[in-house]
Amino acid sequence: MSRILLDVSRLLTRLHNGLLPTGVDRVGLAYLKHYGTRARAVLSERGYSITLSEGDSQRIFEMLLSARLDRMALCKVIARYWLSASWKVEDISGVLLHTSHSGIEYERYHDGLTRRKIRGVFLIHDLIPLTHAEYCRPAVDVKHRQRIRTALSRAQGLIANSEDTLRALESESALAGIPMPPSLVAHLASGVLARAPMPPLLAAPYFLMLGTIEPRKNHWFMLHIWRRIVELLGDAAPKLVIVGRRGWECENVIDMLERCHVLRGHVIERSDCSDDELHGWMQHSRALLFPAFVEGYGMPLVEALALKTPVLASNLRVFNEIAGDIPDYLDPLDGPDWIARILAYSEVASPEREAQLARIERFSEPTWSEHFSRVDHFLETLRQ
């Protein structure tokens, strides 16, 4: 197999800033675990990139996998390379695997790879800023279109996390008049490792929402659903546990969380949640609630079903691709249906929940072993 290079710039930045890994980061860490022992690290900033030696790469990889940052050691490594005059023309050769979108919009990034005889293969998570710009921060659509079109025109290969993402890539390719490069669909495994059973973190029945608080995740809708449930049941209402950091343009959600008296004591917000704690919340939840308007993949759905936790989800094409008929699907704006289904799943002996638990037994969980088997075969075809 060709030499493997991994761009770990985003992972290092987030570790430096003390941020817990998102779904995108968990994919990057999975690639690091799989390829790290035989890979070299690439660091980039605004399209300028450096390739680290094998020894320095292993030191960086160890920091990332242990989530313990040695700032002084990192600064020394980076300074040594940025101050060197030779890194720009070094002939490395091999395949770069880039899993985060970050920085791939810069032409000079790809020019640098070409000079070093490195073939770029990019994992595309979604095209949501292009297809649903209304759920994203202003101007993100412009930047993401530049990323996607640059990747389409410069990549040696593209990896899509779902058939749904691949279709969106093909649509953008046709719109831009850029031929599709060789492409692969490889589903993602759960980003949270299985752990031993844990005691419940909450005595009362509860439901779980997992993900950054942002408009497309539909938290505002679910908080209104919960207000109605509390008005109906009072203290007997189930709890809602929200795991995820507060993101962008979510002021209306924050208003509900901080100022709605009806929800106090009924909604639990966990913005910084370790994997151990998340496993505990997921394991004992009556169901994962996933009322999103759009997703590129939906790793929380995989994580829940892998732990045999039922899922109530929006009827998105990508969810059907991953989980088939196992979850209960609902319209993301049908309040009465969500209320009825949540109340049904709240019951100790819930026929609806038991029916899904039976369906979960036939869930075919995506695995990293399968993912990397497909990726390795894809890289071999590109080499040939």
> pLDDT value at position 161?
97
pLDDT, tens only, 93-123: 899 999 999 999 999 999 999 998 999 999 9
Long-range interactions of 361-365: CB distance < 8 A, separation 24+: 362/326, 363/305, 363/306, 363/323, 363/326, 365/189, 365/190, 365/302, 365/305, 365/306
340 and 251 within one domain:
yes
Q: Say which residue, 236 or 83, is predicted with more confidence.
A: 236
Decide if 168 contacts 127 (C-beta within 8 A): yes
* Range of weakest confidence among 68-72, 256-260, 294-298: 68-72
% of the chain surpassing 90 pLDDT: 78
372 and 343 within one domain:
no
> Encoding tokens for residue 249?
């343009």
Tell me, yes or no, whether 287 lies in a domain.
yes
Q: Say which residue, 18 or 184, is predicted with more confidence.
A: 184
> pLDDT value at position 85?
47
Tell me, yes or no, whether 199 lies in a domain.
no
pLDDT, tens only, 343-384: 999 999 999 999 999 999 999 999 999 999 999 999 999 987
Decide if 40 contacts 116 (C-beta within 8 A): no
Domain count, the chain: 2
| Cα 82 to Cα 80: distance, rounded to the nearest angstrom | 6
pLDDT, tens only, 227-243: 999 999 999 999 999 99
Range of the domain at 311: 206-360
What distance lies between CA 21 and its chain's CA centroid?
9
What is the domain-level CATH number for residue 75? 3.40.50
Tell me, yes or no, whether 227 lies in a domain.
yes
227 and 95 within one domain:
no
326 and 376 within one domain:
no
278 and 184 within one domain:
no
Tell me, yes or no, whether 195 lies in a domain.
no
Tell me, yes or no, whether 198 lies in a domain.
no
Tell me, yes or no, whether 201 lies in a domain.
no
End-to-end CA distance of the chain: 10
213 and 102 within one domain:
no
- Sheet with 206-210, side-by-side order of all strands: 267-270, 239-243, 206-210, 288-290, 311-314, 328-330
pLDDT, tens only, 323-349: 999 999 999 999 999 999 999 999 999
Task: Give 91's pLDDT tier (boundaries 50, 70, 90).
Answer: low
323 and 263 within one domain:
yes
225 and 179 within one domain:
no
pLDDT, tens only, 263-274: 999 999 998 888
Decide if 302 contacts 189 (C-beta within 8 A): yes
Residue owning tokens 């936790």: 309
> pLDDT value at position 200?
85
Task: Give 180's pLDDT tier (boundaries 50, 70, 90).
Answer: very high
| Cα 72 to Cα 84: distance, rounded to the nearest angstrom | 18
> pLDDT value at position 194?
65
| Cα 368 to Cα 358: distance, rounded to the nearest angstrom | 25
> pLDDT value at position 190?
85
Tell me, yes or no, whether 283 lies in a domain.
yes
Decide if 205 contacts 253 (C-beta within 8 A): no
178 and 223 within one domain:
no
Report field, pTM of the whole predicted structure over 0.85: yes
257 and 281 within one domain:
yes
Q: What are phi and psi of 251, to 5 degrees?
A: -60, -35
What is the domain-level CATH number for residue 308? 3.40.50.2000
268 and 177 within one domain:
no
Task: Give 182's pLDDT tier (boundaries 50, 70, 90).
Answer: very high
| Cα 214 to Cα 349: distance, rounded to the nearest angstrom | 34
| Cα 168 to Cα 147: distance, rounded to the nearest angstrom | 14
Residues 6 or more apart whose CB falls under 8 angstroms from that of 77 comprise 52, 56, 59, 60
> Encoding tokens for residue 359?
């369906």
